[in-house]
């Protein structure tokens, strides 16, 4: 079959653009409003911990939308305004405050992950280091005083880990999770087809301006 040189150049250019996009892409952090807006209308699964018995749990702990792997002893509390973000059931680690707590084994195609969180501080804010592993790369963020963490990766999220750095002025405080939300049916943006079309159009127009009689290239098939 015969393809115009313009089209071949356009496809090559689109490949370059797509490769560049994938090279710099990372999971994206979202605040609570952004998370709610972007997941509106999507099929979501929420683990609110209300179905668990109170007290210590197995480790790893199977959730409605993944697995919680804690370094110590996962424990379910309820109506605890000190640890639980919403004053209802929540998940803490009852034995280890300073090692990573990881949410993993997420369903294939999970593109949004979010949770309410509450930190207990004594004399000063301790920094949480959050690491998100996704199909587009690994994102690491450090912050303190958050009551929500949310993330999006159009290529899928594999795991989210929390580590208390213990750098506050007082003792290292514990922290609890509630309403862990995941969704699995987001439309990737920008899409591969969009990038290919944009690259082909740009390179085609550029070539037409410089070559009034474009040549053809034959590809054997």
pLDDT, tens digit, for every residue of 180-194? 999 986 445 554 445
Pairing outcome for strands 128-134 and 112-119: unpaired
**How many Cα atoms are found within 13 Å in the side-chain-facing hemisphere of 141?**
15
What pLDDT does 132 receive?
98
What pLDDT does 45 receive?
98
How would you class 144 by CB atoms within 10 Å of its CB: exposed for 0-12, middle for 13-18, buried for 19 or more? middle
Q: What is the rounded distance in angstroms from the CA atom of residue 189 to the CA atom of residue 194? A: 9
* Residue ranges of the chain with per-residue pLDDT less than 50: 1-2, 7-8, 10-24, 186-187, 191-193, 195-198, 200, 202-203, 207, 211-221
CA angle 55, 61, 66 (to 5 degrees): 135
């Amino acid at each position: 079959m015969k393809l115009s040189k313009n089209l071949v150049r356009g496809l090559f250019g689109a490949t370059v653009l797509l490769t560049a996009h994938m090279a710099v892409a990372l999971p994206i952090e979202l605040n609570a409003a952004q998370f709610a807006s972007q997941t509106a209308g999507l099929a979501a699964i929420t683990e609110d911990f209300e179905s668990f018995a109170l007290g210590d749990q197995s480790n790893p702990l199977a959730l409605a939308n993944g697995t919680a792997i804690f370094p110590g002893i996962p424990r379910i509390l309820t109506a605890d305004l000190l640890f639980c973000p919403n004053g209802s059931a929540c998940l803490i680690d009852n034995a280890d405050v300073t090692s990573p707590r990881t949410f993993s084994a997420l369903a294939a195609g999970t593109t949004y992950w979010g949770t309410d969180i509450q930190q207990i501080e004594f004399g000063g804010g301790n920094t949480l280091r959050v690491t998100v592993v996704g199909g587009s790369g690994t994102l690491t963020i450090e912050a303190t005083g958050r009551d929500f963490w949310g993330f999006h990766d159009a290529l899928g999220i594999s795991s989210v880990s929390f580590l208390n750095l213990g750098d506050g002025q007082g003792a290292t405080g514990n922290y609890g999770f509630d309403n862990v939300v995941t969704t699995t049916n987001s439309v990737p943006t920008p899409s591969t087809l969009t990038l290919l079309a944009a690259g082909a159009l740009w390179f085609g127009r550029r070539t037409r301006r410089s070559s009034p009689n474009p040549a053809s290239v034959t590809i054997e098939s």
